[in-house]
Amino acid sequence: MVFYEVLVIVYLIVAVMLIGFVLIQQGKGAGMGASFGSGGSNTVFGSTGSGNFLTRTTAVLATLFFVISLILGNQTADKEKAVDEWQNLEVPMAEQAVDSDIPVSEPSMSAAPGSDVPVTEAPKEDVPN
């Protein structure tokens, strides 16, 4: 289980780094200005070095991302899911134990809460199923 948790952390780090490297890269239209010398002084690796470095790093991170996601998917596919009590609604729930300390009475007349008028219950024969 520790291997799975470490792999998830590495997966998240690789995903964040991949997003960062994709956002750092310049579009293809920016290469036109760099080829004439205007963008060469703005990069750390020179006008052609940064593209090569960023492209290779992005490819390696993308490969790691896909490999780790395949490994994580393989590991989670083998796990059994916990049975949810709502999955099978056709099976009746077990009878709950009735507390014998509480007396059970069925009054025919009861008062509605907050009123002095008694409410009569319908006879059990008249209640539709």
pLDDT digits (tens, 9 = 90+) for 13-35: 999 999 999 999 877 766 555 55
Beta bridge partners of residue 109, listed in sequence order? 120
For the chain, give every domain's residue range: 14-77
pLDDT tens digits, one per residue of 110-122: 555 666 655 566 5
